[in-house]
Structure 1
Amino acid sequence: MAYDHPRGESSGDAALVALAAGGSEHAFRTLYRAYVRPVYWLAHGLVGNPADAEEVTQETFLVAWRKLPGLDLAGDSLLPWLATVCRFQAANRIRKQKRDREHTAGAADENLVATVDVEQQVVDGALAEAILREVEGLGELDRAIFRLCAVDGYAYQAAADELGVTQGVVRNRLSRIRTRLRTVVKEST
């Protein structure tokens, strides 16, 4: 059965990246919709709270918009590059918050200040990288199923309809993908 990339491209994100780099807001919005949730999850794991995670996510996509013209996409997916940008943005935010806390230590209520364990950040970052590598190693259909169900929140039947496969195929493959990712998580912790 022939399978088309969920965004209609058979070559992954490269065509969308090229269009976005050329100024296409539509192409950039398509990439944003495809990756905003995993970038947010990664940001939340790094900074530890929803408000900062939203800021880091927005900063990540702002950097992406500015840097896409010079980007040479190494693989089929923009996600590994976005994850790297996200980690840098999260680290910048954490450093800024630490400086702000140090300058206002006497005035700030320390109970309201979220502290971030640097060691945990490294573990979370390494875990996120391991998961991203594992997802990138999946076949095209499995990556699409993962993206639709785990990232975009599609129900099994909706994903099956989108991909032109049966609900059973989606359910079984997603179960195998989750088992595979649980193994990665166990090995990384």
Structure 2
Amino acid sequence: MGDDRDDADLVAAAATGSEEAFRALYRAYVRPVYWLAHGLVGSAADAEDVTQETFLTAWRKLPGLQLAGDSLLPWLVTICRFQCANRVRRLRREREHSAGTVDETAPDTVDVAELVVGRDVAERIVAAVAGLSALDREIFRLCAAEGHAYQAAAEQLGVGHGVVRNRLSRIRTKLRTELGTETA
């Protein structure tokens, strides 16, 4: 994060009502949460709504949260997946009760096994990223989690564009290998 505090410090501050700390958490995780939501609900508008609902739920539940690990992301992923499941059910009900045309792009079902597997994968990604060098963690955070372009990340980190591009490629390969997946 751009903030010098880690997630545990920010969660503790946000839990006591610090909007500044919550904004720092939001900035750090809004993109990965949005892309997860988009992948599950299939539309930008619904993904934006789910993302906002996810962070609203997180804000309400922070006072009782005991952060397990160094990152808030696995917890946010879990909230996001449940918000997506709720959204998909609501869209399906609306589609079934509407007299208009059917939206064939909306998912018909929510796979509970996929929700559980998704949480496991998110936790494994967080653990794998934690084992990277400090520079590689920052490159992953900036490019993969926050969506910065290579050049923007390079400028922020004080390294060359090629360094960011090459290291991110190696990081993704390492994550795919460690996770046994093709989607890191």
Q: TM-score range by the shorter chain?
A: 0.7 to 0.9
Deviation of 1:92 after TM superposition, in Å, equals 0.6
Task: Give the number of aligned pairs.
Answer: 179
Offset, 1:179 = 1.4
One-letter identity of the residue aligned with 2:105 = A
In the other structure, the counterpart of 2:101 is 109
- Mapped to 2, the partners of 1:65 and 1:119 lie a distance apart of 25
Rounded to whole Å, the distance in 1 between the matches of 2:73 and 2:65 is 13
TM-fit CA distance, 1:97: 1.4
C-alpha displacement of 1:177: 1.1
Q: Where do residues 4-153 of structure 1 align in structure 2 (5 Å cutoff)?
A: 6-9=2-5, 12-104=6-98, 107-110=99-102, 112=103, 114-118=105-109, 123=114, 126=117, 129-130=120-121, 133-138=124-129, 139=132, 141=134, 142-153=136-147
**TM-score, normalised relative to structure 2:** 0.82
Farther-moved stretch of structure 1 (60-69 vs 174-183): 174-183
Checking the alignment, whether the CA contact within 8 Å between 1:46 and 1:125 is kept in structure 2 is no
Identity %: 62
| In structure 1, distance between residues paired with 2:77 and 2:12 | 19
- 2:167 matched to which residue of 1? 173
Which whole-Å CA distance do the structure 1 matches of 2:167 and 2:175 have between them?
A: 12
- The answer to which of 50-59 and 158-167 deviates more is 158-167
Measured in 1, the distance between the counterparts of 2:76 and 2:122 equals 14
Segments of 5+ residues of structure 1 without an aligned counterpart are none
Aligned counterparts of 2:34 and 2:139: Cα–Cα separation in 1: 19
> Higher RCO, 1 or 2 (CA under 8 Å, sep at least 6)?
1
Pairwise CA RMSD of aligned residues? 2.7
Structure 2 unaligned segments of length 5 or more: list them.
none
Measure how far apart 1:180 and its partner are: 2.6
Write the distance in 2 (CA, Å) between the matches of 1:150 and 1:96: 31
The whole-number CA distance in structure 2 between the counterparts of 1:20 and 1:119 is 31
